[in-house]
Amino acid sequence: MTAVSDPNQLADLLAEATDTRVNLDFESEGMTLNMGPQHPATHGTLRIVAKLDGEQVISAEPICGYMHRGYEKIVEVRTYPQINALINRIDWLGSFANEVPFILAAEKLMGVEAPPRAQWIRTILFEMSRVANISLFLGDFGLQLGGMTAGFYAFRDREHVLNQIESATGGRFHPNFDRIGGLKDDLPKGWISDSHVAMDKLLAFCDEMEDLLVGNEIFQSRTRGIGIIPADIALSYGLSGANLRASGVDWDLRRDGCPPGLVYDQADWKVWTHPDGDCFARTWVRLQETREAAKIVKQLLDTIPAGPVMAKVPRIIKVPEGEAYVATENPLGEMGYYVVSKGDLVPFRVKIRSASFNNISIVPWVARGAYVPDLISILGSLYFILGDIDR
């Protein structure tokens, strides 16, 4: 052990040493294991440097930045409609959901409200991207734990949702469909009935996954009691989405802090929580969430009001001076944009609060004392998208 001169670092090390989950032995040199940047469990290019003592992880530090694209800098020289196309790429599995909080923040500053039909379609597409995103999680998590079948089933059934998103917006992965004051276009003919069919297929997929994966004995033994996050720790790290609800915290921005412009109050649905806080709980909450999302879509499809999909907004969009923070419950968790405008064509500053950044910052805490194979379960169940960490 080398001498530590920095008192802060020393305090950190001592805190590690007093952690009862680790049988930390300062005498042993241990071993450093480098996971990634190209590990399949990292959904992109995240590197985890894990210090091991035998099979036990003493400390695991994620190294980010392999995909940092500097959105917060580049949006300062892009107009609001241009930014919409950029921020699609933050969480690339649920792209439409990225656009919505930003557009809502701009709408809040401008004092514009989208027509009801646009609000309905926005919410439907939002929930569809959630279904597309989380259905892939269910398959991918199975894949990481050695269940290949789940992965293929997920890719197969996600197509149904992507096809619907594509036929409405023209883009499978990057719709760029939301506009300040409404939507780019109305829905195509026959879309509503097709979407009902697609959502029924996804509900069947959820049942299938419950039998195949979540009910599987091997899956449960790999996830139950692994990577437990208590509620207070989850809150202080700012965990959001299913990760927070799996720790027993009943908090969903769709229900509790829904910004005006989304119509979640028009559907009958539930917020699921789980008291365990382990990897299984996180998977289970996500499975229920996918079902609820499909139900929300089906209910809203039946009640879409008629009318225009675009409010009257100026052709050249200048956002009045002010600051606004709008956050929505995205597939990965809370995603928010803090927009500072100086009354110009471009925002003065945009802080992008992405869910994965907070969700993954808990890895050093939760991985401490875990065993190496469990690290895969923990990383997989926390569910992050690299673009959402690095932005």
Partner 1 sequence: MRTWLSVGRVIRLSSADTTDATASGASAEEVITDEAREAVLAELTARLGDAVLGSHIRPGDDLWVRVDRSAWRDAAEAAKAMGFTFFDYVSGIDWLPSPFGRDMDAQEDLVVSGAEPKEPAPIVQGYAGGETRFQVIAHVYNIATATGIHFKADVPDGDLTLPTWTGVFAGANWHERETREMFGISFDGHPNLINMYLPTDFQGFPLRKDFPLLARRVRPWPGIVDVEPMPGVADAEEGDAE
The site string for partner 1 over 77-106 (x = CB under 8 A, - otherwise) reads: x-----------------------------
Q: Which is nearer to partner 1, 172 or 255 (CB)?
A: 255
Return the residue of 17, 188, 236, 270 that touches partner 1, per CB under 8 A: 236
Closest CA to 283 of 213, 221, 230: 213
Q: How far is the CB of 73 from partner 1 (least distance, A)?
A: 6
* Separation in Å, CA 241 to CA 101, 220, 327: 15, 22, 12
Helix intervals (H) in 212-325: 217-223, 231-236, 242-245, 253-256, 279-302
Q: Which is nearer to partner 1, 132 or 332 (CB)?
A: 332
Q: Does 113 sit near partner 1 (CB under 8 A)? A: yes
Q: How far is the CB of 256 from partner 1 (least distance, A)?
A: 5
Q: Is 233 in the site for partner 1 (CB under 8 A)?
A: yes
d(CA 225, CA 223): 6
Q: Which helix (H) or strand (E) holds 59?
A: strand 56-63
Cβ distance to partner 1 smaller for residue 29 or 344: 344
Tell me which residues in 327-366 interact with partner 1 (CB under 8 A).
Answer: 327, 334, 336, 338, 340, 342, 344-346, 349, 351, 353, 357-358, 361-362, 365
Residues 6 or more apart whose CB falls under 8 angstroms from that of 261 comprise: 100, 103, 104, 107, 113, 114, 119, 122
- Calculate Rg over the CA atoms of the chain: 22
Other C-beta atoms lying within 10 Å of the C-beta of residue 151: 18
Q: Which of 115, 175, 261, 333 binds partner 1 (CB under 8 A)?
A: 115
- The separation between CA 31 and the C-alpha centre of its own chain, rounded to angstroms, equals 33
Q: Which residues contact 152 (CB under 8 A, 6 or more apart)?
A: 139
263 CB-side CA count, 13 A: 23
Specify the stretch interacting with partner 1 by CB under 8 A; choose among 7-15, 47-55, 207-215, 283-291. 7-15
Contacts of 5 (CB under 8 A, 6+ apart): none
Task: Give the x/- contact pattern for partner 1 in 275-314, rule: CB under 8 A.
Answer: --------------------------------xx--xxx-
Binding site for partner 1 (CB under 8 A): 8-9, 11-12, 64-65, 68, 70, 72-74, 76-77, 108-113, 115-116, 232-233, 235-239, 249, 251, 256-257, 265, 307-308, 311-313, 320, 322-325, 327, 334, 336, 338, 340, 342, 344-346, 349, 351, 353, 357-358, 361-362, 365, 390
